Amino acid sequence: MERGAKEKNHQLYKPYTNGIIAKDPTSLEEEIKEIRRSGSSKALDNTPEFELSDIFYFCRKGMETIMDDEVTKRFSAEELESWNLLSRTNYNFQYISLRLTVLWGLGVLIRYCFLLPLRVALAFTGISLLVVGTTMVGYLPNGRFKEFLSKHVHLMCYRICVRALTAIITYHDRKNRPRNGGICVANHTSPIDVIILASDGYYAMVGQVHGGLMGVIQRAMVKACPHVWFERSEVKDRHLVARRLTEHVQDKSKLPILIFPEGTCINNTSVMMFKKGSFEIGATVYPVAIKYDPQFGDAFWNSSKYGMVTYLLRMMTSWAIVCSVWYLPPMTRQAEEDAVQFANRVKSAIARQGGLVDLLWDGGLKREKVKATFKEEQQKLYSKMIVGTQEDRSRS
């Protein structure tokens, strides 16, 4: 398709390859110096004052951000280079040939009439066994036998649920799997990240108490395993959450806690800012990198576009969910590090191992506006160039 488009001199639109704008990694000061050097006789070193030509830098940066910013595109599904006979993955071609359309129609019949009923049956079986099994184990007295049964009930049910998605998972470096008294942190792409990890390990979950079916599952699970559930009113109390997590990890007999510090789902092309809460409590952190292959089915959950039921339907009607999981060596907070620096170090390790882009932006920008402090930082940088620091002004 691309070769034919090039022969006809058609412009192809590829928003998720390397970006549509070439951006050089230069600083604000260097770029303004270059603008002044090419269009003005005043150099920034000689005349640290406002020049009208300086506005061209901010205009260009603003236009680049509107056209192709590095944050917004992380909250929508990645466009594929080739079509996987699922949803449309190339904006340049809507109809190609009758033969390909017939193949797509056959794929729809196979996925919806054959694979979907089998997968729904497996998912129902796995969830039912999880509720019944954990409830029965919960009536046993605390001890090694209860812990043994609880572990194997959880693993069995999660593995059945993984089969319901036809998940093909490759686990690397299993010797680094999280251990009791630690915290497992991973990049977050989808709600199914939980069962991807829990089908290979035994974790204590952290989350908010829900109603409905999810509430039934939570109440059953907590009877067999010490999960950490918070009431809706408690979630916003950072000190209470930190205290509950600290009490859990200080007991070395309790399971490792599974946490996704990004706080929202990212489209598996990057890792965004980790919230510092789970890095403040002083526990050993076990980083895990999860990388999905979207060729057979995109696991990313765009929660602003699809509800949970629609998302699960899309997962169960895909060809398969293919992913790789890397267990990284455990990491501890160093003496000179604060929680933010430790979180960034862990995030960089996950991004490097998973082949993901390491971004400093907060995933909360998915639903919120940019904080005023980010704008003030740019204003301070420019102000420092023009008027200098307090020391410079007092010296002059």
Nearest to 147, CA basis, from 74, 190, 189, 202: 202
Give tens-digit pLDDT for 189-213.
988 999 999 999 889 888 777 777 7
Residues 6+ apart with CB under 8 A from 395: none
At residue 382, φ and ψ (nearest 5 deg) are -70, -40
CA–CA dist 155, 225 (Å, integer): 12
CA–CA dist 94, 97 (Å, integer): 10
| 105, 110, 113, 114: CA torsion to nearest 10 | 180
Cα 214 to Cα 151, 153, 158, 220: the distances in Å are 20, 18, 15, 10
Is the whole-model pTM more than 0.95? no
Amino acid 44: pLDDT: 54
**Count of other CB atoms within 10 angstroms of residue 143:** 8
Name residues of the chain where pLDDT drops below 50.
13, 15-18, 20, 389-390, 393, 396
Amino acid 45: pLDDT: 55
Cα 88 to Cα 54, 95, 115, 375: the distances in Å are 43, 10, 20, 37
Amino acid 54: pLDDT: 76
The packing angle between helices 144-164 and 116-138, to 10°, is 170
* 149 neighbors 252 (Cβ within 8 angstroms): no
Amino acid 342: pLDDT: 93
Amino acid 64: pLDDT: 74
> If you average pLDDT over every residue of the chain, what do you get?
80
Residues 6+ apart with CB under 8 A from 176: 286, 327, 328, 329, 330
Show the tokens assigned to 301: 């959950």
Show the tokens assigned to 366: 């998915």
* 2 neighbors 21 (Cβ within 8 angstroms): no
